[in-house]
Structure 1
Amino acid sequence: MSENAIWGIHAGRTGDADVLFLKQNCIALGWDAMGDLSELSPDREAFRQRYVQAYPNAKKGGIATVSGVPFRFLHEMKQGDLVAYPSKQDKQIHIGRIVGEYRYEPSGEKGYPHRRKVKWLKHVPRLDFTQGALYEIGSALSLFQIKNYADEFRAVVEGKDTAVVTVDQDETVSGVSEEIEDTTRDFVLKRLAQQLKGLPLEGFVVHLLQCMGYHARLTPKNEPSVDVIAHKDDLGIEPPIIKVQVKSSPGTATDKDVSALYGKLSLSEYGLFITLGTFSPQSRNFEQSKANLRLIDGDELVELIFQHYEKFDSQHKGMIPLKRVYVPQVLGSD
């Protein structure tokens, strides 16, 4: 059994195929417009082409990933493999074994014509699994292979001791929390890099500084090394005056870049260098030697966005759509 793959599957976005799965002992996929998949040659390109024909308005960027799902359902999933289905209806994880080959049933449950027979073996409450296993089975894909926590699901089928691990003992909690946070950081940085190349990022920084309580404005476009001026007073004449340079590329800012900004500062002024990327070690050493200089890389910028996001206007929230959620924090952690 341990040699067989274990797959995760969802019953539609809202779990609308739950009855089909559990009452008719099968698993199924949508994409009904693709027709009978068994007619296609057993290669991913054939499935990609059929998907494009069936859904001409689909987003181009995700076609390879999405069209790969029915390919895996037909050609990579084998009889004897295990499948885990997390039901949104009864909050249980149903684990079964694939006992049939692919079949096309266009006259069956509407929207789910691609099917395989399953023998359900176990029906286990979600709370019996570690947080890591629950996170993996919550994949955004409708069909995916479970790898990181496959042994945990196999242990349930094999009847091994699966005593519930308390939250305090669950070592996967911290990993899940970190992965969620990292994924969100990557999303924010990618949105900024794609949506705000060049001067638009400078305008975004102006808005962020305003949300932080500063008065901020763009400098004339011909002002080298200084993109934004920020200050606390209404008129912008009381110290400290902050001169800001913004770098929208995801690369590494060098000490030469940082020195160019610092050369624009008078004795009473402060310098702030913001980049979506990182800073070289030499740049960080330069920062340490200057009390009136602050370097903010992409990760630190995202942290500032998180801290002040609620003050963003609708335009900037729409640019980086985020929803407040709570993630578990390991007891005893900072």
Structure 2
Amino acid sequence: MARKISIERVGEMMKVVLTELQNAGGQARLKELLPRAESKLNLTDYEKAPYEKSGYIRWQSIVHFYSIDCVKAGYIQKSGGKWYLTPDGEKALQMPADEFIRSAMDKYRDWKISRAKSSDPTHEIEEDTDEEKAVRQTAYDQAVEQAREEIERHISDMGPYDFQKLVEELLKAMGYYVPFNAKPGRDGGIDLAAYKDALGITPPRIKVQIKHREQKLTVKEVRELEGLLRKEGDIGLIVSSGGFTSEVEREIRASVKHIETMDLDRLINLWQQHYGNVGEAGKTLLPLVKLYFLAPTEE
């Protein structure tokens, strides 16, 4: 079909959306970014109009569609319905809009060619926005985002001890023995202990600290866990549903002790990955079901 939105205009849209992502701290859901971007794009009636068959807004579907170019270019990452701006993406935002989108398309083309057995012309990226593909990508992205939001909301509504039990069930599904689960109340800083064997003889021996709250973990709490990792083969795991500040991440990287982190996004990804091994107690806490969609262009 004839292009009514130029590739240069697409570049403007993608740059504004990614700039809003940067302003949001480098991570956000697209539905949070679109209203902010819309106010800055001076959209035409054609761009704001819905596609006739699907009802999806044209400019928003174009953003979904060209986000794949940005992913393959390494400018953004997507996980669980959220977008994450990469360091390469931050650098790319310094380019003019036309150069920005064409660089993403070129990198996507290179990626396609690298996957193909030969670099024949059928693997070239067309500069026209295919409405059907744009709509399919939009539907897929929105379904992923909605599903992840529902899972996150379900976990957020859990009490602290149910959340702790959820982490225990995940570790068991990953093949660990969990001989210790601290009861509610003061626990000396350790909520769970997980071993590779039933006796805890074979390293690693994981000491788990769990924080289920909106606030991010503090450096003080990291240092408290560091003090509990006294034996060779001890590894610390901090699970924080509220996430981690940049100061905490720097503290962990600088620590001489081996400490791993698990935020809500990583917990859900691991839960999905190992769901086949989750016991009935775990599935009662967080039941999931597979739902199949027509695959987007590239994902």
TM-score by length of 1: 0.47
The one-letter amino acid paired with 1:254 is T
**Retained in 1: the 8 A contact 2:169–2:281?**
no
Q: Deviation at 1:217?
A: 3.1
Q: Deviation at 1:311?
A: 1.9
Structure 2: any 5+ residue segments left out of the alignment? 1-49, 62-128
Q: Does 1:263 align with 2:227?
A: yes
Secondary structure in 2 matching 1:301: helix
Residue 287 of structure 2 corresponds to 321
In 2, distance between residues paired with 1:237 and 1:249?
33
**Retained in 2: the 8 A contact 1:185–1:299?**
no
Secondary structure in 2 matching 1:279: coil
**Retained in 2: the 8 A contact 1:275–1:298?**
yes
* Structure having the higher Rg: 1
TM-score by length of 2: 0.53
In 2, distance between residues paired with 1:243 and 1:285?
20
In 2, distance between residues paired with 1:151 and 1:298?
27
Q: Does 1:176 align with 2:139?
A: yes
Q: Deviation at 1:300?
A: 0.9
Q: Deviation at 1:149?
A: 5.6
In 2, distance between residues paired with 1:332 and 1:151?
18
Count how many residue pairs are aligned between Structure 1 and Structure 2: 180
**Retained in 1: the 8 A contact 2:179–2:193?**
yes
In 2, distance between residues paired with 1:223 and 1:150?
53
Task: Give the 5 Å matches for 1:125-136.
Answer: 129=53, 133=54
**Retained in 2: the 8 A contact 1:247–1:274?**
yes
Structure 1: any 5+ residue segments left out of the alignment? 1-83, 85-94, 96-128, 137-147, 153-163
Q: Does 1:280 align with 2:245?
A: yes
Q: Deviation at 1:258?
A: 1.8
* Greater fraction strand: 1
Q: 1:327 to 1:282 in 2, by over 3 A?
A: farther
Q: 1:229 to 1:330 in 2, by over 3 A?
A: same
> Which of 151, 165, 178 matches 1:203?
165
Residue 305 of structure 1 corresponds to 271
Secondary structure in 2 matching 1:252: coil
Q: 1:219 to 1:322 in 2, by over 3 A?
A: closer
The RMSD of aligned alpha carbons is 3.2
In 1, distance between residues paired with 2:253 and 2:194?
22
**Retained in 2: the 8 A contact 1:273–1:296?**
yes
Secondary structure in 2 matching 1:318: helix
